[in-house]
Amino acid sequence: MSAPAFGIALALAAALLALWVDVRFDSRRPESALRRLIHAVLACVALQAVTMASTHVTPTTMLGVRLAALYGLLLPSLVYGFLSGLWVMRTLTDAARLARR
């Protein structure tokens, strides 16, 4: 599998995991719009931090370290990013629904 195809598959897997977490644990979803937006900002910060940390993982690094960075850092931060994106979309649909009334 090529690197771009793997990146797309990893992003799709993270999006599906985020959707599953949102549906499965709907009672744990933040209620206020402010908390949802704070989670979105924190997800952006987490993704930036993981991206900056991944610059230290080079192709010459041991395979175990690369896999740990990929599945231990990148996948959870992608899931958190997609999950907070779902929460922001729910906030926007709630606001649009209120505006129609």
- With contact defined as beta carbons under 8 Å apart, do 84 and 40 qualify? yes
- With contact defined as beta carbons under 8 Å apart, do 82 and 15 qualify? yes
The domain tally of the chain equals 1
Give the 3-state secondary structure percentages of the chain, helix then strand then coil, rounded to 5.
Answer: 85, 0, 15
At 46-92, the pLDDT tens digits run: 999 998 988 887 777 788 888 888 889 999 999 999 999 999 999 99
Query: 20 lies in which domain range?
Result: 3-100
- pTM value is 0.88
- With contact defined as beta carbons under 8 Å apart, do 32 and 38 qualify? no
Q: How far is CA 86 from CA 11, 15, 55, 63, 90, in A?
A: 15, 10, 28, 33, 6
- What's the confidence (pLDDT) of residue 23? 95
At 28-39, the pLDDT tens digits run: 999 999 999 999
- With contact defined as beta carbons under 8 Å apart, do 83 and 21 qualify? yes
Strand runs (DSSP E) across the chain, as ranges? none
